[in-house]
Amino acid sequence: MQVKELVSYLNHLAPFTYQESYDNSGLLVGDPSAEVKGVIVALDCLESIIDEAILHGANVVLTHHPIVFKGLKRITGANYVERTVLKAIKNDINLVAIHTNLDNVHFGVNHIISGKLGLKDLKILSPKAATSYKLSVFVPQTHADLLRESLAKAGAGHLGAYSSCSFSSKGEGRFKPDEDADPFIGRAGELEVVKEIKVEVVVAEHAVSSVLHAMKATHPYEEIAYDLIALTNSNEYIGSGMIGNLEDGMEAMEFLNFVKRTFHCGTIRYTNPTKSTVKRIAVCGGAGSFLLKDAIRAKADVFITGDFKYHEFFDAEDHLMIADIGHFESEQYTSEWLVAQLKKKFTNFAVRLTNVNTNPINYL
Ligand SMILES: [Zn+2]
């Protein structure tokens, strides 16, 4: 079991292609072909986490936050980032981050938070646009079923809770093979007319290369006529934040106390409740103030996130209650969820949740 296979499984959980442009998720330090001896999972990658990995004989540190975020121009140990990277390299520890790609998938950071709060009817708060493609491919009638099947198997045609979605229309394909062609149907120099089917499928960005690969492997033609077109549709399953409903409404302060207990918050900074009973809750793990307008638009009673600044609290106006529960606190359960996923999938090495509390903030 190599590091790259572990990374490939993470890509299956939360495709790296959905990370934000400023992010740096993936294998950051290490050797893709190294054998995995053990994994430590934490929210942040620090020297103390590398020490923990060494102690347990683990050679992979998987964290939500990437230790290398901005470019590193030198690695001399001048700050904690450089020292962590140096220590990892010296000890053959591989550093992997699964950051905004895990924020942006439906079953990711915000789904975990929503689960802890018992929210139902979950939807992404701000779905991303332009993360899918339309593939139209022209295939002889005789091969249409086979093609549809192999496209679906490669991940094409997913629409929400539906799979194997496609549209087919009948028509005629015309072509004249050249002297140096090796046609599946027809002869060189003769115009051929073939009954063909146009198969159309939606393909999510992360599945494009495997779907094209499957199409080429299944289609009988030497030259395949197909269109791959980028869509501007928003994707309800990829994006930021999450909105859902409590099963039963709760008194606003009772709800905040429940949140404080659930996330072990040293403090919660909040604006005045706008309703005495709250039911509709928006969440965003980490720094979520950029989603305030989306939370208001989605008619949330409370917006739970971290890293709100003083002036940003005013923007709640009379629309909703902002509850800043802390960056670390909001994302802390991501690590144990990752441990559970890896343990389910891999049995040939140990996966441990860190014992180190990496939160740099104390509350007095
Ligand atoms: Zn974060």
Structure tokens at 196: 């063909």
Q: Which two tokens stand for residue 111?
A: 């789904």
Residue 37 has pLDDT above 90, yes or no: yes
40 within 8 A of 352, measured Cβ to Cβ? yes
Task: Find the 201 Cα to ligand 1 centroid distance in Å.
Answer: 35
Confidence of residue 277 (pLDDT cuts 50, 70, 90): very high
Taking residues 196-211, report their average pLDDT. Answer: 97
Phi-psi region of 30 (alpha: psi -120 to 50; beta: other; left: phi over 0): left
Residue type, 204: A
114 CA from centroid of ligand 1 (Å): 16
Q: What are phi and psi of 171, to 5 degrees?
A: -170, -170
Q: CA 67, CA 350: separation in Å to the nearest integer?
A: 22
- Rounded to a whole number of angstroms, the CA Rg of the chain reads 25
**27 alpha carbon to ligand 1 midpoint, in Å?**
18
pLDDT at 266: 96
Q: What is the pLDDT of residue 161?
A: 86
- What's the whole-number mean pLDDT along residues 239-253? 98
**What is the per-residue DSSP string for 188-247?**
TTS-EEEEEEEEEEEEEGGGHHHHHHHHHHH---SS--EEEEE---EEEEEEEEEEEEEE
User: For 282-306, what is the mean pLDDT?
Assistant: 98
Average pLDDT, the chain: 97
- Position 231, amino acid: L
Q: What is the mean pLDDT of residues 92-109?
A: 98
Contact 86, 113 (CB under 8 A): no
**Cα(364) to centroid(ligand 1), Å:** 22
**Residue 9 identity:** Y
Band the pLDDT of 71: cuts 50, 70, 90. confident
* Res 145: pLDDT: 97
Rounded to the nearest angstrom, the distance between the alpha carbon of 29 and the centre of ligand 1 is: 20
**SS3 at position 359:** coil
Contact 14, 102 (CB under 8 A): yes
% of the chain beyond a pLDDT of 70 = 100
The two tokens of residue 23 are 């992010």
Share of the chain above pLDDT 90, in %: 98
Helix 333-345 / helix 3-13 crossing angle, nearest 10 deg: 120
Averaged pLDDT for residues 286-295: 98
CA of 334 to the centre of ligand 1 (A): 10
Instruction: Kindly give the distance from the C-alpha atom of residue 134 to the centroid of ligand 1, in angstroms, as a whole number.
Output: 33
Interval between CA 254 and ligand 1 midpoint (Å): 26
Yes or no: say if 331 and 310 are a contact pair by the CB < 8 Å rule: no
Distance 222 CA to ligand 1 centre (A): 49
- What token pair was written down for 56? 């347990």
Q: Would you say residue 160 has pLDDT above 90? A: no
Model confidence pLDDT, tens digit, residues 103-120: 999 999 999 999 999 999
> How many Å separate Cα 201 from the centre of its chain?
22
- How far away, in angstroms, is 225 Cα from ligand 1 center? 44
Mean pLDDT of 275-299: 98
Residue 274: DSSP 8-state? S
